[in-house]
Amino acid sequence: MGFPGTWMTESESVVYRVVPKCACSTIGQIMFFSDHGRFFDGDIHDASEGLHKWAMEASQPKIEANVREHKSYAFTCVRNPYTRILSSFFDKICGIQRNGKRYRGNLVPLLVQKYGVQVGGDDGKQEFDQIASFRRFLLFARDTIRWKKPMEPDIHWSAMAGHISTFIVNGGRYDQIFFTEDFNAGMQSVLDNITVPHTVDLATIPRFNESEGHGPTRAHPVEDYFDDLSMHLMWEIYKRDFQLFRYDFDNPANKMPKGLVDLDEVHAKLGE
């Protein structure tokens, strides 16, 4: 299986396991800049040079050799499950993607037909009941994750623990897991532990939020989207994420983690 979703700088200064919807665009651009002294012109997910990615065949032997021998500092970044799935809904389900089309072709029509989800019309800009539609989408997300029906779960709403575990199961070990909600402190800690060709000043780095502007703006506080049933579904889908990464399940309004990640616990529980 190797190391899917793993990126590495060409200088092999650092290794990163991508977790979708967790600042991955910004992290990728920081890695690119640290090697080349410039940002990639475009969405870093589209870059086919300047950064090793497991998805590129030529990069796989280099990544595998590095990770198995733990030659470089390895890290990943996590996010509150409540805000992560809300972001997925507004970006991927309600939003028009970079190519001018809906995400994954027939996905949105299927959601409209089978789950009664509204997405703000053809352009995603019309008024609709965001709370009702999100809760129906959450039911769909649970169905894909629990039963793989009506389709396989999507990387943007499958659990973070699943993404993070593949790196461990196949022989990798993380040196750090930090929080999107405290991004600068976490990313600075990574930079403090590595040597890069070009110095990165986090205070001047822009945020590369590639999903911004794709979909409608969230109209309500996070907690308004989650009633008792929605929270039950969240626990069913993301129990390990809440527990391992110390997020507050009982209070959707609290986006901050309740403590630091215990790396030994993560490796023990996700390496099984």
> For 102-113, what is each residue's pLDDT tens digit?
999 889 999 999
Q: What is the rounded distance in angstroms from the CA atom of residue 55 to the CA atom of residue 40? A: 18
pLDDT at 213 (0 to 100): 63
Residues 155-205: pLDDT tens digits?
999 999 999 999 999 999 999 999 999 999 999 999 999 999 999 999 999
| Cβ contact 74:175 at 8 Å | yes
> The tokens of 66 are what?
């590095």
Q: What is the rounded distance in angstroms from the CA atom of residue 78 to the CA atom of residue 179? A: 5
- pTM score of the predicted model: 0.95
* Burial category of 268 from C-beta neighbours within 10 Å (exposed 0-12, middle 13-18, buried 19 and up): exposed
Radius of gyration of the chain, Cα coordinates, nearest whole angstrom: 19
Per-residue pLDDT band for 216 (boundaries 50, 70, 90) equals confident
The DSSP output letter for 6 is E
